[in-house]
Amino acid sequence: MPPIRREVPSLTEAQLLKLEERANFIREDILTMLTEAGSGHSAGPLGLADIFTALYFHILHHDPKRPNWDLRDRLFLSNGHVVPVRYVTMAHAGYFPKAELATLRQFGSRLQGHPEPRLMPGLENTSGPLGDGSSQACGTAYAGKMDGAAWHVFCVMSDGELECGITWEAALFAARNQLHNLTWIIDRNNIQIDGYTEDIMPLEPLHDKFAAFGWNVIEVDGHNIRDFVDACDRAKATWEAPTVIIAHTIPGKGVSFMEANPAWHGKTPKDKTELNAALRELRTLGGKIASELD
């Protein structure tokens, strides 16, 4: 089902351009911080840059100065290994100084290898062991529904973690309790550590699986910010079921030698030369325009 086209678009062209530009800067910062850290995941964070930009700069009701604000929308992250994209986006949004990004994965840093909200408010949940975020988000959404809260719960998760049983336990629970205030965003990038998802443990037909579980299912191009914003609006407007947005993304998006290559799932640019090669691609739109790195 294609996204509904509105007569009045949810984003102006100017807003859209600003978001797209922001997403590209976020990609650059992700690669720079990962190279500095020397370990971590590159592909997932790059693929999710558009989605996180849209969430933090357009969709979420939040206040960087009050990360524990009662009325904020809750953004859970289930695949904790992509947390660099969240750190960079949060820094851009003003949760903490960008200079702190350089401490990623270092001893004493608030930017742990996998998210720890006790150290960095605003992260909402601990995650890393895959699948758990699905249920944490359900619990918070259930509490919100019990209390008649107006805030919405989003949960970003990977496609690979749909292999975890707990994800489907949560899918049953959310549908049974009509958690309309819950939206899962699946990063459908088709890769996991050992290769392509459809080789390792096929997930398709994914849309049909969620529909059969009683969910409202929306598929979007995860790099089309306008479509993604529309999908989130529709998710919030759905009152009888939880929504899952299957966001088709390209892992490593923006850097040709990383794109759609499982080898880049769990590693970082190895040195300044490799980093500069990646940054050049991001700054030249894949070589179409000149940059100061040329």
Contacting residues toward another protein, per CB under 8 A: 74, 76, 116-118, 124-129, 131-144, 146-147, 165-166, 169-170, 172-173
Give the bridge partners for 158, in sequence order. Answer: 187
Q: How far is the CB of 170 from another protein (least distance, A)?
A: 5
CB of 236 to another protein, least distance (A): 18
* Kind of pairing between the strands at 195-196 and 191-192: antiparallel
Closest CB to another protein among residues 118, 288? 118
User: What is the SS3 string spanning 255-285?
Assistant: CCCCCCCHHHCCCCCCCHHHHHHHHHHHHCC
Q: Cβ of residue 214: shortest distance to another protein, in angstroms?
A: 14
CB of 108 to another protein, least distance (A): 18
Nearer to another protein, 14 or 146 (CB): 146
- Nearest residue (CB) to another protein, 138 versus 220: 138
3-state SS record for 102-165:
HHCCCCCCCCCCCCCCCCCCCCCCCCCCCCHHHHHHHHHHHHHHHCCCCCCEEEEEECHHHHCH
Q: Which residue's CB is nearer to another protein, number 74 or number 265? A: 74
Q: Which is nearer to another protein, 137 or 191 (CB)?
A: 137
Return d(Cα 169, Cα 134) in angstroms, integer: 9
| 237 burial via Cβ count (<10 Å: 0-12, 13-18, 19+) | exposed
CB of 127 or CB of 183, closer to another protein: 127
Rounded CA-CA distance 222/209 in Å is: 20
CB 34 within 8 A of CB 102: no
Q: Is the CB of 146 or the CB of 289 nearer to another protein?
A: 146
Please choose, from the candidates 190, 206, 131, the residue with its C-alpha nearest in 3D space to the C-alpha of residue 163: 131
Residue 128 Cβ vs another protein, minimum distance, rounded to whole Å: 7
Helix axes 13-37, 225-236, angle to 10 degrees: 100
CB of 68 to another protein, least distance (A): 10
Give least dist CB 271 to another protein, A: 33
